[in-house]
Structures are given as structure tokens and as C-alpha cells.
Structure 1
């Protein structure tokens, strides 16, 4: 029974990360594109409204989150190739020796 609990515990963690990175990052990117169109105003919108600086700010924040996620993923892959792993022990990612 203990093995089933461990398997289910690992399965929900994989599901959560898959949803976050598999659907979450593209959704944040789409929100950034939509916010950029809102921030541009004019012919980018259906009603041809004025530019909105808040839209551009939200777009920049969304794109920063997506770039951070991509950079973290690349860091994890490259670090494992060099015999390191990424640790979040202090709240931010650091490279530590495997072991």
C-alpha cells in the first residue's frame, strides 16, 4: 500500500508540472500578446482606441515570466549534463553538485 501512495504522489507532481509548463506558459504568452495589442491601441484593436500603457506593462511582465521559465528549463537540462542539479533550497534556483 505504501508503494501505491508513493506512485500517486509522484504522479500528481508530474501532472502539476506538466499543466504548469505545458499549458501555463503558452497561456501566459498568449495573455502577453493580447496585452501588447491592447497597449498598442489604434488599428491593433477592433474599436481603434488610444494606446494604453498598462497593456504594455502587463505584456512585458508576461514575457518576462515566459523567458524566466524557458531559461530555468534550459538551466536544468544543461546542469544535469555537467553533473549538477538545480536546488530551490533558499527560494531561488542555485546549482549544486549531484550527490
Structure 2
């Protein structure tokens, strides 16, 4: 398949559909990532949000691993990590591990 001339990306919050749950949101996120990959999208970004009942992307590094495990070519990363909520060293270790695995 030919890649689009503009390097398109997806920014995903892993939204929870009305009446749905986080497990379904994670499955939809993986489906969307695979679909974006099949269309030639270059990057798939996960956004970190906390305390929002309709958003399931609080554990960003874990969700990035889930998406990366279900895709093969698209680059997966974080649209942003809120460092005031995390130790920078832990984030560096998590993302270093993800980079090695995927």
C-alpha cells in the first residue's frame, strides 16, 4: 500500500462509549490503531487523562504497549505525559522498555 503524501497521525484518548467500559475502549483503540496502520498512517499517539469517567487512557505506557503489541509498522507514542503526576525516572524507564520491546 502506498503511504499518504502527508504523514498523518492519530491522537487517541481511548474514549469509553456510553454504556461501555474500559475493556471495550481498549479493544476499540487497538482496532483503530490497526485500521490507521492499514491506511498508511505514520504515528499513533495516546493522550494521558485522569479522573474523567469517559476516558480510559490514564495508564498511558500500559496502553501504548497494548497498541504496539497489536500493530507492526505504525509508530506508537504518547501525546504527552503529565510529569507532575509521575516520577520522571519511572517514565524514562517505562518508555525505554517500550522502545526496546517494540
TM-score, length of structure 2 as denominator length: 0.28
Q: Which structure is larger by alpha-carbon Rg, 1 or 2?
A: 1
Q: Which has the higher strand share?
A: 2
Q: Which has the higher helix share?
A: 1
TM-score, length of structure 1 as denominator length: 0.29
